[in-house]
Amino acid sequence: MSNNWPIVSLGEILKPISRPEPVQAQKTYDILGAHWYAKGLYTKAVLNGLEIKASKVYRVEKNDFVYNRLFGWKGSFAVATDKNHNCYVSNEFPCFLVNQERLDKQYLWYYFSRESAWLEALGLSSGGTPTSRNRLKENKLLAMKIPLPPLDEQRRIVARIETLAAKVEQAQRLRRQAVGEVEALKLAAFKKVRDSLLQDGLEKKTVGEITTVTSGGTPSRRNPTYWDDGNVPWIKTGELLDGDIYDAEEHITDEGLRNSSAKLFPRNTILVALYGQGQTRGRTGRLMIEAATNQACCAILPTDKLEPRFTQYWLQSLYSEMREVAHGGAQPNWNGKMIKDIEI
């Protein structure tokens, strides 16, 4: 970046905007959340007024700069798109108008897509605990400084980033193709090892005989106290990628954990996706943290009779065979009994 570009505070180029609306019992509201790591806004829930406990919600318009106070340190910054126009957020999501005569909104978004911006947000946040309860207040955000080249240069920077992003995506597609080929080889190797062990005459037990097999649950999306400001990791099947799990895309509150079928599973629990889109069903994950899951995740609890990684590899070696067992019509699903009945 040029040393000649002015460094300005965000307060010079962002204007706080609030569009509160009283909650009406018969109206339906699309409630937005903000993905971590500057991945944009998404529709978290569609609720009618009777399902919303707050007295007010706040309308978002296209091109608003929006962030989540609680997870600024996780990069929950976004610019509202067409899809987000006239949706709503809670009072934990401040909105700002972008001075488009001085600032390109995409330049701003890319600026807040950097880890260094998230670390700065963490340093400016305050709260009850070092991380999960930290809040980035509006005055702290507006005091943050940003290099501000001329608009034409901002747009050139955005164009260069997007060109590079397209090349990265192409490289990632090639990598995914290669990973798929490696996965096929790995599964073949797992099967070979499994077949060898089965032929050695070793004692066999079903998973259900050795340990506890259970599943999670989903707190009601209609109750914001189960979700807002949550600090309990909550895993979905799409996050099971046959690897280790250190964090979750969503979090629930302690209240949501207590008042639902969700359970807190210990470290070294092996998760299996019972159903899901595409190739999700049958994928596994090993918890490296305490976490809850949704009901589509089967949990094999740790025991001194099974080494967690061995269990995970064993299940992966059965991936293709298990997927061929159909339950429920065209979309074959697994269930807890199938997991319990697996011999190991």
Mean pLDDT value across residues 55-69: 96
pLDDT band at 134; cut points 50, 70, 90: confident
Count, residues in the chain: 344
CB 46 within 8 A of CB 70: no
Q: For residue 129, is pLDDT > 60?
A: no
Count the Cβ atoms, other than its own, within 10 Å of residue 340.
17
Residue 56 to residue 342: CA distance in whole angstroms: 51
Q: Any idea which of 5-14, 248-257, 262-271 has the lowest mean pLDDT?
A: 248-257
Q: For residue 2, is pLDDT > 80?
A: no
Question: Each residue of 73-111: pLDDT tens digit?
Answer: 989 999 999 999 999 999 999 999 999 999 999 999 999
CATH class, domain 7-149, is alpha beta
Each domain of the chain, given as residue ranges in start order, spans 7-149, 203-340
pLDDT score recorded for residue 77: 96
Mean pLDDT value across residues 292-320: 90
Q: Any idea which of 92-96, 115-119, 198-202, 305-309 has the lowest mean pLDDT?
A: 198-202
Tokens of 86: 């006239």
Fold match between domain 7-149 and domain 203-340: yes
Q: For residue 212, is pLDDT > 80?
A: yes
Q: For residue 255, is pLDDT > 50?
A: yes
3-state class (DSSP) for residue 142: helix
CATH fold of 203-340 reads Adenine-n6-DNA-methyltransferase TaqI; Chain A, domain 2 (3.90.220)
CA 87 to chain centre: 20
Mean pLDDT value across residues 136-149: 95
Buried b (16+ CB within 10 A) or exposed e, 66-79: bbbbbbbbbbbbbb
Question: Each residue of 169-182: pLDDT tens digit?
Answer: 888 888 877 777 87
Residue 79 to residue 116: CA distance in whole angstroms: 19
Q: For residue 58, is pLDDT > 50?
A: yes
Question: Each residue of 272-292: pLDDT tens digit?
Answer: 998 876 677 888 999 999 999
Which of the pair, 128 or 32, is modelled with greater confidence? 32
pLDDT score recorded for residue 191: 80
pLDDT band at 131; cut points 50, 70, 90: very low
pLDDT band at 324; cut points 50, 70, 90: low
